[in-house]
Chain A
Amino acid sequence: MSIIATASPTVPLGRRVKRFMGDYPLVPLLILLVLLVVVLQIMQPGIVNQRWIANTVKFAIPLALLAGCQTMTMLTGGIDLSVGTVATMAAFIVATQGVDNPAPVAMLIALIPALLVGFANGIGVGVFRVHPLIMTLGTSLIGVGCLQVYQRTVIGSGAKVPDFLIWLGTGVTWGFPNALLLFIPVAALLIFIQKRTGFGRLLYAVGDNERATRLSGVQYWQVILALYMFSSVLAGIMGLLYMGLIRAPSLSLAEPLVLPSVAAAVIGGTSIFGGRGGYTGTIVGALILTVLTTLLTILQMPEGARRILFGAIVLLVTAAYLRIIEDR
């Protein structure tokens, strides 16, 4: 017996716009993106060209991949804060193992810790019901420790990033970044999983009402275990790509991308409480954040002011988005 809005013929324009945006949540995001690009172009005429676009896309892709992990986990009401560590581990290991091993072997070895961390997360969240925030923060702490111990063992052997990863990470073919070769299939896969597979359905349903899924015969731990392992492997793959882009192994390579990845998913309209959202929005969210970073660099904002603005925008966008959703 809720209030059923009677559709009267004279809906005010503002409301109509809002409703339209609510039904097509991508539209306001795209408008924001275009707006940011226009501002950029006005402030520094001529900056927006093919090379700039390729570059922006190149840097948005790792962020979007990491934000993919957040999107998937946030659909179930979770979050995966270990993705930064997992990506860093994969990157560091592939660079150090690349010295003695052929590239494919090094890459496979690099993904093993990702699987392990994902498994631990899945068990902790799915079986023991630890809050995902804590579980993934914890495994990430352990992961960093392991990585530091590992670093000692390989400290003398140097590092070599596989050429393939460098080509994938930095290369541009006909104006398109090669990373798209990885990203487009991954993005398509993510969207397909969310929209057209039983697993995707379960992610939304579990995030929305876990009890209901239980009564329908869904085994929560299976879904969560699979989800966190998937998320970790995705983060590992992102780490490999990012290694190719940055080319300098470090122990905190992908760490700075963790919070932006959460922000990208949130801006993209995925509800942090689960049950709502999708990867398409997240991709646009990642683009928005990347363009914004460029904008702030051009403005020569001090790091501090940049972070303040960044936080404020995350908040504002989310609040605005919430209003649009609510008004439907």
Chain B
Amino acid sequence: MAKNYGAVAALKNTSLSVLPGEVHALMGANGAGKSTLVKILTGAIRHDRGTILVRGKAHLVRSPADARRAGLVSVYQEPSLIPDLDVLANLRLTQTPVEPFRNWVRELGVPDLDMRDNARDVPLAIQRVLDLARALAIEPDVLLLDEMTAALPANLAERVLDVVKRQSRTGRSVIFISHRFVEISALCDRATVLRDGETVGVVDISPGVEERIVELMLGAKIEKARAAQRQATEASAHGEAGTRIAVRNLRVGTKLQDVSFDLKDGEVAGVVALEGQGQDELFAALAGSTKPSGGTIEVDGRQVRFSHPVDAVRAGIAYVPGDRSEALAMQQSVRENIALPFSAAFRNWGPIRMGQERATVQSAIERLQIDTRAQREVQRLSGGNQQKVTIARWIAVDARTILCFDPTRGIDVGTKQEIYKLLRQLAAQGKSVLFYTSELEEIQLACDRAIVIFGGKVVDILPVEIADEPALTRAAYGLPRDAKAAVGILAETASSEGARP
């Protein structure tokens, strides 16, 4: 089976060939043309030159329906169930056989699915699993998984990887797109690496191949990224720093049961949790979007009650959501987006001092090194730069506390490094950061402590020295620190990787 592509603006000379029965990773830094290739494969956009061959036969793929007829089914980064239809109707819409679907759902670790539930009411992580089950039930020749595990809790992710691996044994192929090396080395047979719209290499996955892939992906950029990487031993001590936020016995709805911790001035505290353990609610409560149902939040020693995000902003607490489209006015300029909080209060509705604003915005842009070539509309920026804009906004108003919810999700390695560096700088200036991440290795790269939440409660607070991936994984599953955990392929690979250097 071979696929060859000609040029689109973002793709110059890309080819990708996937063997039957293979799990093939597609990799590339942001802007390498990965998403464009995916869009072509799924029929969302048309290619200008080149061909798509499935089992040696050329196919014209002009819509997802065409792609499906060609035997190519995709699971997208965002859930693609129709939110207002129940699961059954969703299956009917895509003419998916129900029984195989049900089996796959069970197989994937969701035993209690009610097919009459509207997709909207199904938790996000489960929706992704349903997407996958739907794709599997169609029994495609080629299954394309785009960042399939990005929003999944570790337990589900593991089941998913397991199922995908078995899928390939039946002679079907899987194209697997992921930012996580752990998964790729656990799952994939080969990897195609894209850079600047060209295929720069096809490598066999074997231990230690990560270095090679990163080299291919980044080209010359790797040394710089390495230099920025912070060692765990650099973690600074914060004995005497004041307590910025004190959370006591916080409860929010049913998800967040009883959470207490302190956030000190000048520290980056990491939050680690599997999907749906209450971290969304914790951040929403601290940001003023949701009212807590119990417990207290103290800011600088004074108890606060937030009823609107404006209250949190006034208390100097800024929230950077993981989903950039939640935080940005996409059609407005970089400048207007960064300056947005300036005008929020009623007293600032009057004339703007343009010069002063320009200076403030400019310094924030420079500090975060935002690529301003496309600054007239934020939607034209790359994902990494968009994320920087959402943070720059709060740097510009000098917020004392920043709540970052998975800010590095789906952005390229270089920008990730810059964000870690920025968080460290903020801490060095005495600001405090609460940093939730779904990628465990980030804890040691950016944080001073790791607060682990499981089942809506804080189960452990680990100092950064010991917060490596195996330890965090164990803690995130609610296991005590010294217990030996058997949590499947993910943890195994993670620990072997941790042991390697």
**Beta-carbon contact of A1 and B35 below 8 Å:** yes
Q: Which one of A1, A196, A202 lies within 8 Å of B30 (CB-CB)?
A: A1
Chain A residues with Cβ below 8 Å from B329 are 204-205, 208-209, 212-213, 275
Report the nearest B residue to A206, measured CB to CB.
B329
Q: Does A3 contact B (CB under 8 A)?
A: yes
Q: Say yes or no: A197-B352 contact (C-beta < 8 A), given A1-B34, A209-B328, A275-B329.
A: yes
Which residues from B are CB-within-8-Å of A198? 342-343, 348-352
Which one, A201, A204, A217, contacts B352 given CB within 8 A?
A: A201
| In the complex, chain A residues 215-238 whose Cβ is within 8 Å of any chain B Cβ | 215-219, 222, 226
Q: Which residues of B contact A199 (CB under 8 A)?
A: 343, 349-350
CB of A149 closer than 8 Å to a CB of B? no
Is A129 positioned at the interface, with any CB of B under 8 Å from its CB? Answer: no
Q: B325-360: which have CB < 8 Å to A?
A: 325-332, 336, 339-346, 348-352, 354
Question: B31, B308, B330, B349: which has the most chain A beta carbons within 10 Å?
Answer: B349
Question: Do A216 and B10 touch (CB < 8 A)?
Answer: no
Taking the closest CB of chain B, its distance from the CB of A125, in whole angstroms, is 18
Task: Determine the residue in chain A with the shortest Cβ distance to B348.
Answer: A198
Complex CA–CA separation, A7 to B346 (angstroms): 43
Query: Is B269 close to A, CB under 8 A?
Result: no
- Is residue A16 contacting chain B, with contact meaning CB distance below 8 A? no
Q: Which of A1, A5, A205 contacts B383 (CB 8 A)?
A: A1
What total of chain A residues lie within 8 Å of the partner, measured CB to CB? Answer: 30
Tell me the smallest distance from the CB of B36 to a CB of chain A, in Å.
Answer: 6
Question: Are A6 and B309 also in contact (CB < 8 A) when A196-B351, A196-B352 are?
Answer: no
- In the bound assembly, the distance between CA atoms of A216 and B319 in angstroms comes to 8
* Residue ID in chain B nearest A275 by CB atoms: B331
Q: Min CB distance, A68 to chain B, in Å?
A: 18
**Cβ–Cβ contact A219 & B10, under 8 A:** no
Select one of A197, A201, A222, A226 contacting B336, CB under 8 A.
Answer: A201
Residue among A214, A216, A275 with max Cβ neighbours from chain B (10 Å): A216
Query: Does B327 lie within 8 Å of A212, measured CB to CB?
Result: yes
Measured CB to CB, the closest approach of chain B to A3, in angstroms, equals 4
Complex CA gap A209/B336 in Å reads: 13
Question: Is B9's beta carbon under 8 Å from chain A?
Answer: yes
A216 in contact with B313 given A1-B31, A209-B325 (CB within 8 Å): yes
Given contacts A3-B36, A217-B314, whether A204 and B343 have CB atoms under 8 Å apart is: no
Q: Which of A197, A212, A218, A219 has the most CB of B within 10 A?
A: A212
B380 within 8 A of A: yes
- In the complex, whether B400 has a CB less than 8 A from a CB of chain A is no
Q: Is the CB of B9 within 8 A of A216?
A: no
Q: How far is the CA of A214 from the CA of B336 in the complex (A)?
A: 15
B31 contacts A217, C-beta separation under 8 Å: no
Closest-CB distance, B10 to chain A (whole angstroms): 4
A197 pairs with B349, CB closer than 8 A: yes
Query: A197 CA to B357 CA in the complex, in Å?
Result: 12
Find out whether the CB atom of A217 lies under 8 angstroms from the CB atom of B354: no
B310 adjacent to chain A (CB < 8 Å): yes
At the interface, yes or no: B287 with Cβ under 8 Å from chain A? yes
Chain A residue contacts of B30, Cβ below 8 A: 1
Do A222 and B346 touch across chains, with their CB atoms under 8 A apart? yes
Chain A residues with CB below 8 A from B354, complex form: 196
Known contacts A201-B339, A202-B349, A217-B310; is-contact A3 B10 (Cβ 8 Å): yes
Query: CB within 8 A of A213: which of B339, B340, B380?
Result: B340
Which chain B residues lie closer than 8 Å to A5 at the CB level?
Answer: 9
B264: interface (CB < 8 Å): no
Q: Is A276 an interface residue (CB 8 A)?
A: yes
- Shortest C-beta distance, A133 to chain B (Å), equals 21
Q: Enumerate 5 A-B pairs (CB-CB under 8 Å) in ascending A order.
A: A1-B35, A4-B31, A197-B350, A198-B349, A215-B321
Q: What are the 6 tightest A-B residue pairs by CB atom distance, in nearest-first order?
A: A198-B343, A217-B313, A208-B329, A199-B349, A217-B344, A217-B310
Query: Which residues does A use to contact B, with CB under 8 Å?
Result: 1-6, 192, 196-199, 201-202, 204-205, 208-209, 211-219, 222, 226, 275-276
